[in-house]
Amino acid sequence: MATQPRPTHSLPSPSEHPDRIIVIYDGQCRFCRAGVEQLWHWDWWHKLSFISLHEAEVTRRWPQLTHAQLMEQMYIVTPDGACLGGASAVRFLARYLPILWPMAPWMHLPGTLPIWQFLYGIVARSRYRLAGRIAENCDEGTCSVHLGKHGSHAVGGQSIQKERLAQEAASKATQTMSQPPHD
């Protein structure tokens, strides 16, 4: 029997605080919820509100953001309506959360956004592996949508399935070499 994901504390919502920066995140993924909880704790001046991308309100209010885009990276919506995703979102938040201020000058150096996007992409593509097995980090296996039925997830031309197949082949080759030959 499927259960609803546990609520993430009582995070401030956009309906309660429409004047705040809105963070759109995957509310069914524990890894993502942990990150949002951290942002909430760092939001000393109460500038943020939070909404899961799975809420119907997201599709209604921001139809320009596709489900695939939202599943790939965190988005923020600024008070003037601009939608920023991934490293651009983190870079924006670095100006509003005092604990991130030491990062802000580095993140805003001219020409560095592509580097931050690349680094964000590495973490985003690896977040389930970095946090452990999927079953340990997502309610009801919801994070498996990122990895596909057989563990493939192509982002930026890279495939986790190819990595896994290469690792399995290397493991089999090592096992074969360590076994004595059959007569």
Total residues belonging to the chain: 183
Indicate whether 102 pLDDT > 80. Answer: yes
- Within its chain, how far is the Cα of 83 from the centroid? 16
Summarize the confidence of residues 12-21 as an average pLDDT: 94
Q: Tell me the pLDDT band of 143, cut-offs 50, 70 and 90.
A: low
Which residue has 């760092």 as its token pair? 42
Predicted local confidence at residue 151, as pLDDT: 43
Predicted local confidence at residue 30, as pLDDT: 73
- With a pLDDT cut of 70, the percent of the chain lying above it is 64
Give the strand order in the sheet containing 75-77.
Answer: 48-52, 21-25, 75-77, 83-85
Predicted local confidence at residue 26, as pLDDT: 84
- In this structure, of 7-16, 88-97, 173-182, the range with the lowest mean pLDDT score is 173-182
Q: For the chain, where are the alpha helices, taking DSSP H only?
A: 30-42, 56-61, 67-72, 87-93, 104-107, 113-130, 134-137, 144-147, 160-178
Average pLDDT of every residue of the chain: 76
Summarize the confidence of residues 22-42 as an average pLDDT: 88
User: Comparing C-alpha atoms, which of 97, 102, 101, 103 is closest to residue 46?
Assistant: 97
R_g of the chain computed on alpha carbons: 20
Query: How open is the CA angle 62-93-61, to the nearest 5 degrees?
Result: 10
Three-state DSSP class for 65? coil
Q: Tell me the pLDDT band of 33, cut-offs 50, 70 and 90.
A: confident
- Within its chain, how far is the Cα of 99 from the centroid? 20
- In this structure, of 37-41, 96-100, 118-122, 130-134, the range with the lowest mean pLDDT score is 130-134
Summarize the confidence of residues 131-156 as an average pLDDT: 46
Longest dimension (CA), the chain: 77
Q: pTM of the full predicted structure?
A: 0.69
Residue type, 17: H
Indicate whether 132 pLDDT > 60. Answer: no
